[in-house]
Amino acid sequence: MKNMIGAYGPWAASMLPTEPSALSLQECPADEFESRRAAARARVLECMAPPPKQIPKPTVLRRFEYDGLEIEELSWPQPAGEPTQAWVFKPANATGSLPGVLALHDHGGFKFYGKEKIAQIGPEVHPRVKQHYDDYYGGLAWVNELARRGHVVLVHDTFTFGSRRVRLADVPEAIHWGLKDDADESTAGTEAYDKWALEHEHVMAKSLFCAGTTWPGVFYNEDKMALDVLCNRPDVDADRIGVCGLSGGGIRTVYLAGLDERVKCAVCIGMMTTWRDFMLNKSFTHTWMCYVPHLARELDFSEIYGLRAPRATMVMNTHEDGLFTHEGMKDAEKILNNVYHSAGVPERFKCSWYDGPHQFNREMQIEAFEWLERWLV
């Protein structure tokens, strides 16, 4: 059977375990569950090799209201690159401590913007962002919809997206590859930047490996900083924290929610499969941002997410998602079911299936929001 690396595929696949490893939580005895989970998390962090994490010091740039929501625009410095820009949404006139949700934006081949792809702060929306809403989110800025239901929702630009994107002035002219302007917000200008940024991904990934870290490790650090900001807010109940994201946001959900105990409920949309499926069938459809060296020999991709057991966990798949095979998605679902049965709380894991392509449409959003509210409110 043909695969992504031809005759080398069966040989590479033979290196992957065919049975759960010693770190797996599948079929794990109850008296070993906590110690094994701790060991597995330590191993994931060792392989991810995240850089040293800073304590975020956010600055409020402005406060305003839009469409029934109170919004704050925040910024906090990073050890390199531009500061992180973020928005926080909650119902106008809300009082007391509310559940908090960290909303993780997608990749989507659209790196000029980050938070704007899932949140809206005014009536004017960039044409490409509007198309993004239509293509992936049922025409909605889903962060706004979730905040209206009584949550404090923080969405931030992550590494290499939006305010954190790579700037032409900081890289050699030899790799400008025809791009003239990295700040042109016209449709043509943002498309040109995104074409350049996608080509630059392999340069960034290889450079991170050379630095002794990984893209998931950098994401993890920046998302943990955003989680720090959310949890430290006086209007947030830090014991009721959720995380949610589609696609690239799903990758980030897997690693952050799998490793950070503060996340009480998580929803991963359109980003669940196995390392075997990535390798043999679908690596060409995915970003460099997924991969952690060595980890596949010890934990499958879905098992990273399963390290959050016994806390509430949802996966949402679509039958016509071209980024994965149906078999890969079903195998991942089985693994997570096994983990939650081992944890003794099968009711805290749910995998939902929808018709259609890679998306987080209105119907899916309603179910995801109800799942978050079931465990956080």
Please indicate, yes or no, if residue 47 is contained in any of the structural domains: no
CB 336 within 8 A of CB 305: yes
Q: Burial of 57 by CB count in 10 Å (0-12 exposed, 13-18 middle, 19+ buried)?
A: exposed
Please indicate, yes or no, if residue 318 is contained in any of the structural domains: yes
CB 117 within 8 A of CB 94: no
Please indicate, yes or no, if residue 219 is contained in any of the structural domains: yes
Spatial separation of the C-alpha atoms in residues 284 and 91, rounded to whole Å: 41
The angle at the Cα of 147, spanning 141 to 150, to the nearest 5 degrees, equals 155
- CATH number for 184: 3.40.50.1820
Please indicate, yes or no, if residue 38 is contained in any of the structural domains: no
State which amino acid sits at residue 304. I
Question: What is the tens place of the pLDDT at every residue in 343-375?
Answer: 999 999 999 999 999 999 999 999 999 999 999
CB 247 within 8 A of CB 228: no
- Structural domain of 267: 59-376
Please indicate, yes or no, if residue 304 is contained in any of the structural domains: yes
Residue 354 bridge partners (DSSP): 318
φ, ψ at 101 (rounded to 5°): -130, 130
Write down the pTM of the prediction: 0.97
Question: What is the average pLDDT across 220-242?
Answer: 98
In this prediction, residue 53 carries a pLDDT of 86
Number of domains in the chain: 1
Please indicate, yes or no, if residue 186 is contained in any of the structural domains: yes
Helical segments of the chain, H only? 9-13, 33-48, 127-136, 142-148, 187-210, 215-231, 248-259, 275-277, 301-306, 326-342, 362-376
Question: What is the tens place of the pLDDT at every residue in 308-344?
Answer: 999 999 999 999 999 999 999 999 999 999 999 999 9
Q: What is the mean pLDDT of the chain?
A: 97
Please indicate, yes or no, if residue 182 is contained in any of the structural domains: yes
Please indicate, yes or no, if residue 232 is contained in any of the structural domains: yes
